Structure 1
């Protein structure tokens, strides 16, 4: 083993390929979804308790922080879904090549950005 190899420990200078970025973001979106589901379940429980609870939850969704949380939850769901479909397509043999992986990763990123922006427009 060559011990004289250059070692780059500054992560801000590392250029990740699109497929690596999609993979990392897919994991992050999964963690965000896991965290947001607990919050959304609590809100569902409160809304099903009584008419007053429902009205409080409905009023909460009119605030800017609640809309932001909802948008983040939808963004994570949209991204996780699209990246998951990409993984399923790769499991059946579509886009397994190096070039196909790059094109699939860029497609996931572009489609996700478009749909996340559209979700933001619909929420606001």
Structure 2
């Protein structure tokens, strides 16, 4: 009986540890913004890369983008602007360790932060 109890506790412990190593969250969504060196209608262009730094896919990724403006068209299949939130890749999954890129032109650059996502497949 003690062996069964110890085995159960060991399995539970290992399960909790492995969840801790593989759990994904908004902290795994990294957003890098760099200036491209181009100007569009007198505004600097910014290249944005959104990276899912986790092995699990995340979907319905929304970025806080209050006041987001651009003089350069952004492909709505990559970034859909909805008031103060921007939906990434139409809500489709961003696979583990994958990235998506877009560019916009405005001055000053916007601080884009992940605000929502759903982790799937882990």
Q: Same fold (TM over 0.5)?
A: no
Q: When the two structures are superposed, what TM-score results if normalisation uses the length of structure 1?
A: 0.25
Q: When the two structures are superposed, what TM-score results if normalisation uses the length of structure 2?
A: 0.26
